[in-house]
């Protein structure tokens, strides 16, 4: 019970005891006190209760000190809670940054995969004409990648152009095979630089090329993409 008492409780108890002692003294000497003049009564009361007032002043000082100590401890706890809150916020920000970075990487990866999936993948097969007097054939383009648009097929040798097939194939879908509209002729040297220009679904221009000889007639060969870095 007394462990939880503060300065106020002890001061009140001491004051009651002090008043009881003073009252007992007054009662015991009441006959003498009745003869006192009013100014004497004032002096008596001032002398009797002056120490009590001083004691309450001292108790108030200690009480304020205790309250100030409690306030300081409360402020320390609030500061610790604020520091913990700031730390938690920093951790949340770090987690959010990691999540955002992950989403950005995921988006970039998916975007890159999507971009890669739109790029055509072309192969060529020279279908022979069946004419023994002419060395050449019709280019047949196979697309195993994304859709290709506005294909422009060119063949060059040291002697110059040996075949330009503009607008021969306007659209080559993924998985489709189409023939150009002209014959690719091989000269006496037999070496031709074969080039295909096209656009993908996003409108990006691509270039595919390969060196061919008459020995490649009838073979299906992959064209090398030369526009990539």
Q: What is the mean pLDDT of residues 69-88?
A: 90
Which pTM does this prediction carry? 0.50
CB 192 within 8 A of CB 155: yes
- Give the range among 15-24, 35-44, 141-150, 199-208 with minimum mean pLDDT: 35-44
pLDDT of 165 reads: 52
pLDDT surpasses 90 at 193: no
Q: What is the dihedral of CA 29, 35, 39, 42, to 10 degrees?
A: 20
pLDDT in tens, 13-23: 777 887 887 78
Interatomic CA distance for residues 14 and 134, integer angstroms: 131
């Amino acid at each position: 019970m007394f462990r939880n008492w503060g300065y106020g409780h002890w001061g009140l108890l001491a004051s009651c005891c002090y008043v009881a002692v003073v009252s007992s003294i007054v009662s015991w000497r009441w006959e003498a006190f009745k003869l006192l003049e009013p100014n004497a009564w004032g002096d008596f009361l001032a002398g009797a209760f002056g120490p009590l007032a001083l004691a309450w002043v001292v108790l108030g000082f200690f009480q304020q000190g205790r309250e100030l100590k409690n306030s300081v401890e409360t402020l320390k706890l609030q500061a610790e809670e604020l520091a913990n809150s700031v730390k938690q916020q920093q951790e949340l920000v770090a987690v959010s940054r990691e999540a955002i970075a992950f989403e950005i990487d995921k988006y970039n990866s998916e975007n890159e995969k999507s971009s890669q999936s739109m790029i055509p993948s072309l192969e060529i097969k020279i279908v022979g004409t069946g004419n023994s007097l002419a060395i050449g054939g019709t280019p047949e383009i196979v697309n195993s990648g994304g859709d290709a648009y506005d294909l422009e097929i060119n063949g060059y040798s040291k002697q110059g152009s040996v075949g330009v097939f503009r607008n021969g194939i306007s659209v080559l879908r993924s998985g489709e095979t189409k023939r150009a509209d002209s014959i690719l002729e091989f000269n006496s040297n037999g070496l031709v630089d074969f080039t295909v220009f096209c656009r993908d679904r996003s409108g990006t221009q691509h270039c595919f090329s390969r060196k061919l000889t008459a020995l490649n007639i009838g073979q299906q060969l992959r064209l090398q993409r030369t526009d990539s870095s």
